[in-house]
Structures are given as structure tokens and as C-alpha cells.
Amino acid sequence: IISCLLGVIEAVAVLAGSDLCPPSVRHWLIILLVHSHQPPSQAITQVGMLSPAFLFGTCLTIAGAMLRRHCYNVLGRFFTFELSIRDDHKLVTSGPYSIVRHPSYSACLLMQTGQMLFWLDRNSWLVTCSGLLPADEYAMTRVLWAARAFMLSVGYVWILRVNHEDAMLEKSFGKEWREWAKKVPYRLIPGVY
């Protein structure tokens, strides 16, 4: 929910910073969205300047969301948010599961990387307009690097979960899982891990 809310705020801020936004609407959006240490019209214009990192991050986030949705569809009723094996569970090895063993987690990592790129970009609403981050450049840099480190550590949690899930699947499906793991040796990133 927070991800979606921040995404909507970011999109509205980009619109407000562009020439597409009528001046009367822009005025109210600035009042609602800008709580910055710099002049509001300057801050909102800065958000409207889309950087390559912001655009690439947006593309990664959308691609990750689409892949995750596809994984939900392929798994069907076997998809759960908690690690579990159902009584009538079947090992799904088709679709994205024929490329990596945990494409749903790959999708989460894509989304997380994309969000890190656009939320923590110097031109993002969160950094430029929210007022949540310090005005001092040195302090801002430290906060941004700490946020990046935190998001990377969350990625490590996905790796731990993948290892636990592999062990659980091997225990439940035995030879069938081992044969699949031989055919699909990579867990998250094809050719890497």
C-alpha cells in the first residue's frame, strides 16, 4: 500500500512539475505536495525533470510487477504469501519457473531495485519535496546511502527465504524437485544465481 501511495504521489508530482498541468491545478498540487526547504515552485519543477535513473527505475518496477502477476497466474491456487505446502500440492515447473526456480522473488527484487532508483533519486518527490529528508547536503547524502543499504539488506532476506523454500520443496517433492533443480539451476537471476 505504501509503495502504491508513494508511486501515485510521485506521478502527481511529476505531472505538477510539467507544462501539461494547468496553472490553477499546479498551484493546489504545490500546496498539497511540497514541504521542502527550497522554494515550492523550484522544488516541484525539479521533480518534473525526469532523470535516466528515475525512468530506468520506473521501467524495472513495472517489469517486476508484471512478472510477479504472471507468477501468480502460473501458480494459481498454489500461490501463498507464506511458505507452505498444501496437501494436494504440485511442483510448478512451467512458464517463468522453467527459467529460474523463484521468479516471483526475482520480480520482487526487480521492483525493489526500481523503487530504490526512483524513490531515492535526487529529483524524486520523496527527496525534493516531501520535507522528510534533511536540507543539509551532507546529511541528505548519508540518509540516502543508509536507505539504499537498508533496501539492499531487504534483498538479502529474499535470498534467505529462497534457500529455505528450496529445502522445503526438496523435502516435499524429492526426486521430482532435484530433477527440476538440475534443469533449472538458477534460483533468481538466469546465469548468475
Tens digit of pLDDT for each residue in 114-130?
A: 988 888 888 888 888 88
In a domain? residue 96: yes
| 16 grid coordinates | 505538477
In a domain? residue 114: yes
The number of domains in the chain is 1
Residue 53 and residue 177: Cα distance in Å, rounded? 39
Under DSSP, the state recorded for 191 is: T
Residue 148 and residue 119: Cα distance in Å, rounded? 10
In a domain? residue 10: no
Residue 140 and residue 159: Cα distance in Å, rounded? 29
Tens digit of pLDDT for each residue in 37-94?
A: 778 877 877 877 778 988 999 999 999 999 999 999 999 888 877 777 877 889 999 9
In a domain? residue 42: no
Residue 174 has pLDDT above 90, yes or no: yes
In a domain? residue 158: yes
Residue 105 and residue 27: Cα distance in Å, rounded? 41
| 174 grid coordinates | 524429492
In a domain? residue 150: yes
**DSSP structure string for 114-133:** HHHHHHTSTTSHHHHTSS-S
Residue 10 and residue 136: Cα distance in Å, rounded? 22
In a domain? residue 74: yes
In a domain? residue 148: yes
Domain range for residue 59? 50-183
Q: Give the predicted TM-score (pTM) of the model.
A: 0.78
Residue 110 and residue 19: Cα distance in Å, rounded? 31
